[in-house]
Structure 1
Amino acid sequence: MRVAGVFYLAIILLGLFGEMFVRAKLVVSGNPAATAHAISASPLLWRMGIVGDLLMHVFDIPVIVVLYLLLKPVNESLSLSAAFLNLIQTAVLAANKLSLLVPLYLLGGSSYLTAISTAQLQTLSYVAINAHGYGFAVGLIFFGVSCLVRGYLMVKSGYVPKLYGFLMVLAGFSYLINSFALLLAPTFAAALFPAILVPAFIGELAFTLWMIVKGVNLAQWQQRVDPAPTI
């Protein structure tokens, strides 16, 4: 459990690194030229953001397995459904990283790109980066539903404090609202972001720290796994 908590914390930190310290630093909103110049000036930082994201998705796997086993005694079918939803999210987001590689090729100065103007290459790079944002939103729809299911199972478990279950449900709704707003009403989504994801950050971080510091009550968990026979 504590090892899974460490992996979960690494996922959160790597996610923050990619979004806050790489893309927020290098991507200039509404300005393809400035964005292209920033990436060209710091290609290693851009690549580090991609590698960090991919490591984050690798760390997803042990966390998914542990959370499945943790919540399986409450309802095996729902716990398995949450695990599969999380796996779909991981697969979508991992594949989505290809969009972030596109600017490196377009801005790399290869001879086969000379037929395309610099402005066009910069615009295409910016479009690829925007596409990554939408791909991220698509993946988080699956994760949002997974959070709702896991939050419900935590509340019903008896061996995970109900508070973390409610926080996980709140996180799920935050992800879903953010994703559907981006897909259906981008202007509205821009007004919501990043405040809409604060509950998700708080909920996941709180649960992660609980896993690392305290962890599940093994006696209560075992009781759900092997309930005492009735006489």
Structure 2
Amino acid sequence: MAKLTLTPDLARRARLAGLFYLVIIIAGLSAELGLRGPLVDLADAGGTAAAILAAPGQFRLAIAVDIVMALSDAALAILLYLVFRAVAPGLALSAMVFRLIQTVLIAANLMALQAAWLILSASNGLADAPALALVFLDLHGHGYDLGLVFFGVNSVMMGVLVWRSGVFGKLFGLGLAMAGLVYLAGSGLRFFAPEWSADFAPAYGVTILAETAFCLRLLAQRSPGREPV
């Protein structure tokens, strides 16, 4: 593995990557926690159905925001490859592929949300519509965690690339690698030990902190020779 040689072009790509990363963080948290979260209670099919039907614009806006996140994620995957390929071309390419797989899975998984909406909004009133819609909403959560398996692998790879870059700081690389392990552990619990998922949830604070810190570091990247104002 080689060290990065900072160039004006690389610095611009890093800042653009940081911008897309910021969009992903804001969009992801907004869609899941701010828009969809207040409407969905997986323990209450009837209440969830009533909440979604009472705020259809909010539910569908969450899907739109998720689409924006997925598009930004694809762009970020390519930009990070362009930035870090000089460190280790094979590893950078692998990281991009794993992130793109995650992006495709999460984007395709939005069809589960659309299916839930179609079931609830059906004019002919499907039998047991709330219960069936809740199955699709729960499926979306599992599909999201499946995507995070691939993102977890990507994050560990990115951690290695950042650690070895000589530009972005080893602490950022360590943080990304730790975030990747959290994603892998959390997704594993969701599928194989769901009764422990709630207790593990606070660990995701590590991922938010690590990814936000790296995002800000990318945004703050100066071109070589540029003096701070």
TM-score, with length taken from structure 1: 0.88
The amino acid across from 1:212 in the alignment is L
Deviation at 1:69, TM superposition (A): 1.4
Deviations 1:114-163 (A, max 9, x none): 4x32xx10000001000000000100000000000110111111112111
Tell me which residue corresponds to 1:196: 203
Tell me which residue corresponds to 2:148: 140
Deviations 1:7-50 (A, max 9, x none): 11010000001111122100123000000000000000000000
- Displacement over 6 Å in runs of 4+: none
User: In 1, Cα distance between the equivalents of 2:153 and 2:53?
Assistant: 38
Deviation at 1:109, TM superposition (A): 3.4
- C-alpha RMSD of the superposition: 1.3
Deviation at 1:214, TM superposition (A): 2.8
Aligned residue runs from structure 1 range 53-202, under 5 A:
53-111=66-124, 114=125, 116-117=126-127, 120-193=128-201, 195-202=202-209
SS of equivalent residue, structure 2 residue 69 = helix
Tell me which residue corresponds to 1:229: none
User: In 1, Cα distance between the equivalents of 2:32 and 2:68?
Assistant: 14
User: In 2, Cα distance between the equivalents of 1:191 and 1:99?
Assistant: 26
Deviations 1:54-90 (A, max 9, x none): 1101011221111111111111000000000000000
Q: Contact conserved, 2:84 with 2:165, CA < 8 A, in 1?
A: yes
Q: Between Structure 1 and Structure 2, how many residues are aligned?
A: 212
User: In 1, Cα distance between the equivalents of 2:220 and 2:28?
Assistant: 21
Larger radius of gyration: 1
Decide whether aligned partners of structure 1 residues 143 and 105 sit closer, same or farther in structure 2, where only a CA change above 3 A counts: same
The amino acid across from 1:170 in the alignment is M
Range that drifts further, 33-42 or 19-28: 19-28
The amino acid across from 1:48 in the alignment is L
Deviation at 1:218, TM superposition (A): 5.2
Deviation at 1:103, TM superposition (A): 1.8
Gaps of 5+ in 1: 220-231
Relative contact order higher in (CA < 8 Å, ≥ 6 apart): 2
Tell me which residue corresponds to 1:211: 218
Deviation at 1:102, TM superposition (A): 1.3
User: In 2, Cα distance between the equivalents of 1:123 and 1:5?
Assistant: 41
TM-score, with length taken from structure 2: 0.89
Deviations 1:151-190 (A, max 9, x none): 0111111112111100100110111011001011001112
Report the identity percentage: 34
Give the alignment partner of residue 42 of structure 1, picking from 55, 59, 69.
Answer: 55
The amino acid across from 1:208 in the alignment is C
Deviation at 1:93, TM superposition (A): 0.3
